[in-house]
């Protein structure tokens, strides 16, 4: 028996049902596709955010990738590698830096962020012990790692603007800069430690901890280096000057800046120690970083150019004393040259017509100044110029300016003057000019006296020349100018130099005598009939005095 | 590849992704249209399908070009970390000098005021 033939209505209803089912499925499929496209769109924008940020950061930082599935969700194994391999080879690192690889987090919202290292970033800092901590000039601005805003951004889901993504990338970049810089400064600290293993002349290690190093330079100065985490820039609280009676716990020093501290020799007075003459510790920090970096670059260049040479890691390539030795000598030089400068400044304060010029030497262990003296142009000199022969000019080297140069190399002072008659010449009694450069070394204690004598003798020389121009019969000694009077008498104009005189360092006396008076005895004997104190005269006043004396002498019938 | 080229390439690939999303969306619209109770509208269907095929073709062309022109990525070729450190040190020097100059300027102003 066959199946009954379906009625037309049944066929139609079957068709209707299957059509409806098909439509249903098509609708379902349509919904599926639409939902997929929406989800894909969101995923695409999230990925674009992440990889866009990664590409921007990749322009400056090395990116590594580990395709490890076990990294966990939301992370493709990217990381930033902050270690420079060429650098690592050259520096014999005793401690491997634990923060040189920074992991990248890929948040659900597409934001790229980095896992901050566990340890705080540490930086080098220099300080003088005994100084008021608030005095330290915080000139190196550190970008702060602590940006809480970043967390908020990462927590937000979809409503992220381009601005916010941009801010995130910038923040990440500055954090990486900070970590990178800190890695370098820790390496420099290691290199400094490494250099102390070799014996250095004049430098000894008086304290050492994991993040602290104390060096004694010569007899008088001590230098401390610390590693300080960022955010604690005022430096460690060095309560105990003797340094390490406590256990080497960083609790004593709240911060680990690589602080350079200079300790005076006298432990009792260190709080009262006058630290105004000390060089700025910040500049020394920068210099330390600079020279060690230059050293590494130089060694890298050397290695590239001579590949066959056997490398001895850690051996300093420059100079006989190494980089650290050079640095310590620079510190010592700076302290010494500050002392020299204060002497020169007090001198120049005491002599109104003297100017102090400083000259750049472009070498960290050399300083140079000059004392500059300009003589006023004399009216007679201008008028009489034509009457004086050229020979006279050349022979006597008439000058209107006079320089004394003071050069300090390490702790050696060298004074040189132009055409200044030396003390030796004065003993010979010769009044001939010496136009050649005349230089000698001296000590810090003798410096003011020597310079004042140079200046005074130059003034005498100038007055002598001016006196000759007007036709006076004049002769000079080292610090005295003698005018010949009638009857064989001489009138002497004598310079007296005293660096400690508060009214002025060079004062003048008129002496009526037989010409044997020396400047030294004048103040002892005081004023008398034959000696008059003129005071601290300016150059114009001296010139006028000499001209007055000229008229006095000419009455007596000279010429 | 210069940085500008990289950005443009990235933008192109981003466009490809957007097109793929659009393509899937179109497929969904076509299905919806087919499931229309009054019957599919032929013109809408043809438009969608044309756009679909065109997008697929564009995607294919762009991907082919990008894959051909993608250069070999050599990692860490010119590491500039040393230059970065040098620059940081220079910045420190400049900041320090600027501070000193500011101090000098202040002194001069004070002297002038004192006069």
DSSP string spanning A154-191?
A: HH--S---HHHHHHHHHHHHHHHHHHHHHHHHHHHHHH
Say if CB A543 and CB A466 are below 8 A apart: yes
- Band of residue A509 on the pLDDT scale cut at 50, 70, 90: confident
Computed over every residue of chain A, the mean pLDDT equals 74
Provide the pLDDT for residue A386: 45
- Band of residue A485 on the pLDDT scale cut at 50, 70, 90: confident
Which one-letter DSSP state was computed for residue A142? P
The phi, psi pair for A316, rounded to 5°, reads -70, 135
- Band of residue B61 on the pLDDT scale cut at 50, 70, 90: very high
Mean pLDDT calculated for residue range A297-324: 67
Q: Which of residues 27-86 of B touch A (CB under 8 A)?
A: 27-37, 75-76, 79-82, 84-86
Whether residue B35 and residue A286 make contact (CB cut-off 8 A), yes or no, is no
Is the pLDDT assigned to residue A422 strictly greater than 60? no
Provide the pLDDT for residue A239: 39
Partner residues linked to A368 by β-bridges: A359, A407
Q: Which residues contact A270 (CB under 8 A, 6 or more apart)?
A: A129, A130, A241, A263, A264
Is the pLDDT assigned to residue A63 strictly greater than 80? yes
Chain centroid to CA A85: how far?
A: 29
A15-48: pLDDT as tens digits? 999 988 988 998 999 999 999 999 999 999 888 8
- B44 vs A64, which has greater pLDDT? B44
> Which residues on chain A are in Cβ contact (under 8 Å) with B44?
none
Round to whole Å and give the CA distance between A164 and A369.
Answer: 55
Provide the pLDDT for residue A257: 41
- Band of residue A525 on the pLDDT scale cut at 50, 70, 90: low
Provide the pLDDT for residue A197: 87
Q: Does A52 touch chain B (CB under 8 A)?
A: yes
Residue whose structure tokens are 């066929």? A11
Q: Does B21 touch chain A (CB under 8 A)?
A: yes
Q: Of A178, A60, A183, A57, give the one whose Cα is nearest residue B79.
A: A60
Round to whole Å and give the CA distance between B10 and A55.
Answer: 9
Dihedral of the CA atoms A375, A380, A385, A389 (nearest 10)? Answer: -90
Q: Does A140 touch chain B (CB under 8 A)?
A: yes
Q: Does B101 touch chain A (CB under 8 A)?
A: no
Provide the pLDDT for residue A399: 59
Q: Which of residues 180-219 of A touch B (CB under 8 A)?
A: 180-181, 184
CB count in 10 Å sphere of residue A151: 9
Dihedral of the CA atoms A535, A536, A538, A543 (nearest 10)? Answer: 40
A135-191: pLDDT as tens digits? 444 544 454 544 444 555 555 555 678 888 899 899 999 999 988 998 889 889 988
Whether residue A51 and residue B10 make contact (CB cut-off 8 A), yes or no, is yes
By mean pLDDT, which of A210-224, A455-469, A511-525 is the weakest? A511-525
Mean pLDDT calculated for residue range A357-379: 86
> Which residues on chain A are in Cβ contact (under 8 Å) with B21?
37, 40-41, 44
Q: Does B15 touch chain A (CB under 8 A)?
A: no
Percent pLDDT > 90 in chain A is: 13
Q: Does A23 touch chain B (CB under 8 A)?
A: yes
- Band of residue B93 on the pLDDT scale cut at 50, 70, 90: very high
> Which residues on chain A are in Cβ contact (under 8 Å) with B6?
55
Q: Of A373, A475, A380, give the one whose Cα is nearest residue A420.
A: A373
A82-125: pLDDT as tens digits? 887 666 666 555 455 666 788 888 888 888 888 887 777 888 88
Is the pLDDT assigned to residue A242 strictly greater than 50? no
Give how far Cα A435 sits from Cα of A354, A377, A428, A438, A454, Å: 21, 20, 17, 9, 14
Give how far Cα A391 sits from Cα of A13, A395, A398, Å: 138, 6, 11
Provide the pLDDT for residue A243: 39
Q: Of A441, A497, A100, A223, give the one whose Cα is nearest residue B81.
A: A100
Provide the pLDDT for residue B44: 92
Q: Which of residues 496-555 of A touch B (CB under 8 A)?
A: none
> Which residues on chain A are in Cβ contact (under 8 Å) with B24?
33, 36-37, 40
Q: Does A86 touch chain B (CB under 8 A)?
A: yes
Mean pLDDT calculated for residue range A275-281: 76
Which SS3 state, helix, strand or coil, does residue A131 take? coil
Mean pLDDT calculated for residue range A514-532: 60
């Amino acid at each position: 028996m066959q199946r009954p033939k379906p009625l037309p209505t049944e066929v139609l209803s079957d068709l209707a049902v299957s059509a409806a089912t098909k439509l249903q499925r098509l609708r379902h499929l349509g919904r599926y596709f639409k939902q997929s496209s929406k989800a894909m769109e969101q995923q695409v924008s999230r990925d674009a955010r992440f990889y866009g940020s990664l590409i921007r950061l990749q322009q400056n930082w090395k990116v590594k990738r580990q395709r490890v599935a076990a990294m966990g969700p939301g992370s493709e194994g990217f990381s930033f590698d902050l270690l420079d391999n060429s650098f690592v080879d050259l520096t014999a690192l005793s401690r491997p830096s634990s923060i040189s690889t920074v992991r990248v987090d890929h948040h659900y919202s597409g934001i790229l962020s980095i896992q901050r290292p566990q340890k705080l970033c540490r930086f080098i800092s220099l300080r003088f012990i005994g100084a008021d901590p608030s005095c330290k000039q915080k000139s190196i601005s550190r970008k702060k790692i602590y940006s809480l805003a970043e967390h908020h951004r990462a927590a937000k889901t979809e409503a992220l603007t381009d601005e916010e993504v941009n801010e995130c990338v910038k923040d990440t970049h500055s954090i990486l800069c900070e970590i990178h810089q800190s890695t370098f400064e820790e390496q420099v600290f290691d290199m400094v430690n490494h250099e102390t293993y070799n014996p250095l002349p004049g430098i000894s290690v008086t304290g050492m901890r994991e993040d602290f190093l104390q060096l004694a330079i010569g007899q008088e100065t001590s230098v401390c280096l610390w590693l300080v985490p960022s955010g604690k820039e005022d430096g460690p609280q060095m309560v105990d000057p003797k340094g390490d009676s406590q256990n080497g716990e960083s609790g004593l020093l709240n911060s680990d800046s690589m602080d350079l501290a200079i300790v005076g020799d006298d432990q009792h007075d260190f709080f009262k120690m006058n630290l105004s003459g000390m060089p700025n510790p910040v500049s020394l920090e920068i210099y330390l970083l600079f020279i060690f970096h230059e050293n590494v670059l130089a060694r890298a260049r050397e290695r590239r150019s001579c590949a066959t040479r056997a490398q001895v890691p850690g051996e300093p390539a420059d100079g006989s004393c190494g980089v650290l030795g050079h640095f310590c000598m620079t510190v010592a030089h700076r302290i010494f040259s500050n002392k020299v400068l204060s002497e020169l400044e007090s001198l120049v304060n005491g002599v109104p017509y003297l100017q102090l010029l400083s000259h750049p030497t472009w070498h960290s262990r050399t300083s140079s100044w000059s004392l500059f003296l300009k003589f006023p142009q004399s009216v007679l000199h201008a008028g009489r110029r034509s009457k004086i022969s050229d020979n006279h000019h050349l022979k006597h080297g008439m000058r209107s300016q006079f320089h004394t140069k003071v050069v300090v190399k390490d702790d050696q002072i060298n004074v040189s003057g132009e055409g200044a008659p030396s003390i030796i010449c004065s003993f010979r009694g010769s009044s001939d000019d010496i136009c050649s450069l005349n230089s000698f070394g001296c000590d810090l204690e003798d410096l003011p006296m020597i310079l004042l004598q140079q200046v005074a003798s130059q003034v005498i020389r100038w007055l002598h020349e001016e006196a000759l121009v007007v036709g006076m019969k004049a002769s000079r000694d080292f610090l005295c100018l003698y005018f010949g009077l009638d009857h064989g008498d001489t009138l002497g104009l004598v310079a007296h130099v005293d660096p400690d005189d508060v009214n002025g360092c060079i004062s003048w006396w008129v002496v009526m005598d037989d010409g044997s008076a020396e400047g030294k005895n004048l103040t002892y004997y005081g004023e008398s009939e034959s000696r008059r104190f003129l005071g601290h005269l300016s150059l114009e006043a001296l010139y006028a005095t000499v001209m007055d004396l000229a008229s006095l002498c000419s009455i007596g019938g000279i010429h | 590849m210069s940085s500008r080229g990289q950005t443009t390439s990235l933008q192109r690939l981003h466009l490809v992704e957007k097109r793929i999303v659009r393509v899937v969306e179109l497929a969904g619209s076509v299905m919806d249209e087919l499931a229309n109770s009054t019957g599919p509208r032929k013109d809408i269907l043809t438009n969608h399908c044309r756009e679909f095929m065109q997008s697929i073709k564009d995607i294919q062309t762009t991907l082919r070009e990008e894959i051909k022109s993608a250069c070999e990525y050599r990692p860490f070729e010119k590491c500039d970390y040393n230059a970065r450190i040098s620059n940081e040190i220079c910045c420190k020097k400049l900041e320090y000098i600027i501070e000193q100059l500011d101090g000098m300027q202040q002194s001069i102003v004070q002297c002038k005021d004192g006069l």
